[in-house]
Every structure is written in structure tokens, then in C-alpha cells.
């Protein structure tokens, strides 16, 4: 990830931008995992919402669902949920909305856990940023996509804007 330049400077390599074929391959790989809809939604938040791994990990059910259990058009992440202690607003497009609805139909108890993490382990604990990063690493490996990272979704999202 880091590269030494002349005179000892450190340059960060930018995350890989995925093309449509690679993104399609990534979603197909999700289908052979144990948690298909969960993994697809995590990928969708990265690629269709532009969220960082830590922001995905910090999502709560109440961030995505209104009190009447409708998918919010806008997700407002508090400064505690984001990098740099700044609030972040995420617009929920049609693709992301469909993925959220599929996730909720697969895991209907989600709507009863408004104050809890959206993504939880089998033990019921919320995912961490590292958990999300590891998931992306495993998905990219299964999809045989080289040089991609958990930040590739955000970079692809921003590039496509």
C-alpha cells in the first residue's frame, strides 16, 4: 500500500477502481458465500453509497430505516460513525435501496433491532472496520480481482460520479 519515493517520501497508492465487469464478478462471488444478502449489501454500501469500511461497520438499523420501517432516502452518519469526526450524508439510490430491501426480506428481524448494528456476527456483536476489510479481501480473492482493497468501492463510486 505504501511506496517509497525519492528522498524518503512516502506515497500512498490509490485504491483500484473497478469496472462494471469486475463489479458484476464481485456480486456473483457473494452468491457462493454463506451470507449472500449480507455480503451483497456490504458491497453495495461501498460501491453504490461510497462508504468506507468503518462507516459500513458503524451503520445501525435506525440509520437505514425510518420509524415506519421504510428505507430512508438519505442516511446521516454521525461524526462518531465516520472518519475525521465529520458528519456524512449518504443518498440512497435505487440500486442500494433494492439491496437493502432484499437484505431485510432475508433477515426480517432486522426491523426489530433499530438501535443495533446493521451487520452483526453470529455472536450478535457488531462488525468492526477490520471485519469489513477482511470480508472485502476474501471476496476479491474469490473473484480473482487483483490490487483491490476495501477502499476500492468508495473510489469507484467517487470516480463514477
SS3 77: strand
Q: What is the pLDDT of residue 135?
A: 96
Residue 47 has pLDDT above 90, yes or no: yes
pLDDT in tens, 51-82: 999 999 999 999 999 999 999 999 999 888 88
Q: What is the pLDDT of residue 1?
A: 45
More confident residue, 29 or 1: 29
Q: Summarize the confidence of residues 18-23 as an average pLDDT.
A: 94
Average pLDDT of the chain, as a whole number = 89
Q: How far is CA 127 from CA 19, 73, 103, 135, in A?
A: 27, 24, 16, 10
Q: What is the pLDDT of residue 125?
A: 87
Rounded to whole angstroms, the Cα distance separating 14 from 99 reads 27
Confidence of residue 12 (pLDDT cuts 50, 70, 90): low
pLDDT in tens, 77-98: 988 888 877 888 999 999 999 9
DSSP secondary structure letter of residue 148: -
Whether the Cβ atoms of residue 37 and residue 107 lie closer than 8 Å to each other = yes
Residue 4 has pLDDT above 80, yes or no: no
SS3 88: strand
Residue 9 has pLDDT above 70, yes or no: no
Confidence of residue 5 (pLDDT cuts 50, 70, 90): very low
Amino acid at each position: 500500500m505504501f511506496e517509497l519515493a525519492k528522498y524518503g517520501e512516502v506515497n500512498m497508492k490509490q485504491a483500484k477502481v473497478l469496472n462494471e465487469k469486475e463489479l458484476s464478478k464481485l456480486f456473483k462471488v457473494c452468491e457462493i458465500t454463506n451470507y449472500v444478502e449480507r455480503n451483497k449489501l456490504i458491497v453495495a454500501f461501498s460501491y453504490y453509497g461510497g462508504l468506507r469500511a468503518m462507516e459500513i461497520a458503524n451503520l445501525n438499523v435506525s440509520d437505514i430505516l425510518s420509524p415506519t420501517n421504510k428505507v430512508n432516502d438519505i442516511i446521516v452518519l454521525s461524526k462518531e460513525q465516520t472518519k475525521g469526526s465529520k458528519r456524512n450524508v449518504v443518498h440512497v439510490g435505487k440500486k442500494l435501496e433494492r439491496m437493502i430491501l432484499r437484505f431485510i426480506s432475508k433477515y426480517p428481524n432486522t426491523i426489530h433491532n433499530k438501535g443495533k448494528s446493521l451487520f452483526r456476527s453470529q455472536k450478535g456483536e457488531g462488525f468492526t472496520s477490520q471485519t469489513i476489510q477482511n470480508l472485502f479481501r476474501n471476496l476479491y480473492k474469490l473473484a480473482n480481482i487483483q490490487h483491490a482493497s476495501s477502499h476500492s468501492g468508495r473510489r469507484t463510486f467517487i470516480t463514477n460520479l
